[in-house]
Structures are given as structure tokens and as C-alpha cells.
A and B are shown apart, each in its own frame.
Chain A
Amino acid sequence: MDANEFIRNCSEHTAEELAPYEEQHVAWSEDGKTILAHGATLAELYQEIDRKALKQYVIGFIPSADLSYFGGGTL
């Protein structure tokens, strides 16, 4: 996997494209072009990954397009 390509491609997605996944845990394709699975919780995401039998992915999170985050990962 090319980490830099992944980050650049993830950053190309518009707010409209990401809207359905806001505040959800997601499994990105390794090139960052596609969201392969999503879930409101990590456990739900894992279930979806298993249901789809995904093998190659990067787990991430789509932050709200309306919220400012204080910092850290815990809120």
C-alpha cells in the first residue's frame, strides 16, 4: 500500500461524498478512493467487514463536517 497516495486520495472526497458516513467508523480501500464498509460503532464496522469478507482495507473515522474537535481522540 502507498500510504501517501492513500492519504491524498482520502483528502479528495467532498463533504457531499462523505456526508453519509459522518461520525461513523469506516473501512477505506487501500488506495483511499472508496469507502468499503461503515458502522456507527467499531463493532458494527467489524461485522460489516466480515459480512463482506473484506481483506484489504484501512480503518478510519469520518468526522462531522459541522463539528470542531477539541483535540485528542476521546470526546
Chain B
Amino acid sequence: MIFPIARFPTRAPIPTLRGASVRLKSLLPLLVLGPSAQELRQVLHDTGADDIVFPIDMAARIGVDLRSAISGAAVGVGTGRPVPILYAPVILQLQDATEVYRWRAVVGFTSGTLRFPLFGIAGGLEYFESRINFVRSEIMLTAQASLPVTTDAVP
């Protein structure tokens, strides 16, 4: 799969980008299927994130019951103290113009502030060869044999 890298304009020239006024963000449109609904979200391709993480408000929206979820804690840049994270199974789907991949994953839901959900390693990037080319402005993901594909619509 090949995705363009998203571009966000800035108001002022960016010194570290030699005066350019566009920020590049490695966002992917990820379909998340829960027990009662699905949601299409922009998620951040993040090799620094251990897990796939969504905001906790999304869980109820797609019917994920977190009452019996395994709990943990997570930290990130700017979080200071660890924030709670609850893990639950969902089905994920990525597709570009020519390929579609749907697989099962256990993901985290957190009450910590998230601007973009994180498409991290466990349950996500671990199953793909991933290349980001900022010169060509492309994200290339190649599914590996380990991807736990499914055709199911409900986790």
C-alpha cells in the first residue's frame, strides 16, 4: 500500500525546514471496527509508539466494553506521569487504491490527551514493512505473512 503524506500549512516559515511553510505528518486513514459500530480515523504512523492507542471516548462509540479490559499505564512526550490505558480487541482495516488489509488486534484506549490516535508497533506496524519517504511524500506499507487477516466484521 502507498499513501501520500499529509501536509498541513503553517502561518509562518519554519526555520528547521529552511523557510518552508508546510508541516508533513505521517497520517493514515484507519478503519476501526468494534462490536456495534465502526469508525474511520486519521492515525499517526508512529514507530515510537509501543501500541495502537485511541481516545477512550471512542470505545463506547464503537461498542467496546472496557469494564473487563486489561489495564495498564503509558507515558509519552509531555504526559509527565503515566496515564491509564485499557486494552481491548478490535478489527482494523487499511486500504489504499489497490489493496485492502483487515486484521485482528488488541489496542489501547486512554483518557490521556490525544491529538491523533497512534498507529504503533504492537498490533499494527509489527505486521508491515514500513517505509516513509519524505522526499517523495509517500508512506509505503507492505503486509507481512504474520498479519492476522480476517474477513470478520465484529471483533
Query: Nearest-CB distance from B134 to chain A (Å)?
Result: 14
Q: How many A-B residue pairs have CB under 8 A?
A: 113
Question: What is the 8 Å Cβ interface bit string for chain A, positions 43-75, against chain B (1 contact, 0 not)?
Answer: 100100000000001111111011011111111
Do A63 and B76 have beta carbons less than 8 Å apart? no
Query: Nearest-CB distance from B28 to chain A (Å)?
Result: 8
Q: Do A71 and B118 form a contact, CB below 8 Å, given A7-B6, A11-B7? A: no
Contacts of B28 in A (CB 8 A): 3
Closest to B7 in A: A11
Range of interface residues on A (Cβ < 8 Å): 35 or more
Task: Please tell me if B89 contacts chain A, counting CB pairs below 8 Å.
Answer: no
Contacts of B55 in A (CB 8 A): 42
CA–CA, A59 to B27, complex, Å? 12
Closest to B49 in A: A72
CA–CA, A57 to B39, complex, Å? 8
Do B97 and A4 have beta carbons less than 8 Å apart? yes
Task: Please tell me if B48 contacts chain A, counting CB pairs below 8 Å.
Answer: yes
CA–CA, A28 to B76, complex, Å? 27
* B-to-A contact residues, CB < 8 Å: 2-12, 14, 21, 23, 25, 27-29, 39-42, 44, 46, 48-49, 53, 55, 57-58, 61, 76-79, 83, 95-97, 110, 112-118
